[in-house]
Structure 1
Amino acid sequence: MLKGIPKILSPELLKVLCEMGHSDRIVIADGNFPAESMGKDAIVIRCDGHGVPELLDAILQVIPLDTYVDKPMNLMEVMPGDPVKTPIWDTYKEIVAKHDERGAACVGNIERFQFYEEAKKAYAIIATGESAVYANVMLQKGVVIN
Structure 2
Amino acid sequence: MLLTQLIHPEISAILAAAGHHSTILIADGNYPALNKRGPHAKLVSMNLTPGLITCDQALKALLTAIPIEAAMTMQTETEGPYALDGDPPVWHDYRASFAAAGSKVQLQPLEKWAFYDHVITADHVLTIQTGDQQRYANLLLSVGVRMDE
TM tier, shorter chain? 0.7 to 0.9
- Residue in structure 1 matched with residue 117 of structure 2 by the alignment: 117
Compute the displacement of 1:40 (Å). Answer: 5.6
- Residue in structure 1 matched with residue 66 of structure 2 by the alignment: 63
Are 2:55 and 1:52 equivalent residues in the alignment?
yes
- Residue in structure 1 matched with residue 26 of structure 2 by the alignment: 28
Compute the displacement of 1:116 (Å). Answer: 0.8
Give unpaired runs (5+ residues) of structure 1.
67-71
Matched pairs, number: 137
Give unpaired runs (5+ residues) of structure 2.
none
Could you say what the CA RMSD is over the residues aligned between the two structures, in angstroms? 1.6
What's the TM-score once normalised by structure 2's chain length?
0.85
CA distance in 1 between partners of 2:34 and 2:117 (Å): 14
CA distance in 2 between partners of 1:21 and 1:95 (Å): 22
Residues 67, 144 of structure 2: 8 Å contact kept:
yes
Please give the per-residue CA displacement for 1:42-62, whole angstroms capped at 9, x wherever unaligned.
111111131111110110111
- Residue in structure 2 matched with residue 132 of structure 1 by the alignment: 134
Label 1:101 to 1:5 Cα distance change in 2 as closer, same or farther (>3 A). closer
Compute the displacement of 1:114 (Å). Answer: 0.7
Residues 78, 84 of structure 2: 8 Å contact kept:
no
- Residue in structure 2 matched with residue 6 of structure 1 by the alignment: 5
The DSSP-based 3-state class of the residue aligned with 1:116 is helix
Structure with more of its chain in helix, by fraction = 1
- Residue in structure 1 matched with residue 107 of structure 2 by the alignment: 107
CA distance in 1 between partners of 2:8 and 2:143 (Å): 18
Runs of at least 4 residues off by over 6 Å: none
What's the TM-score once normalised by structure 1's chain length?
0.86
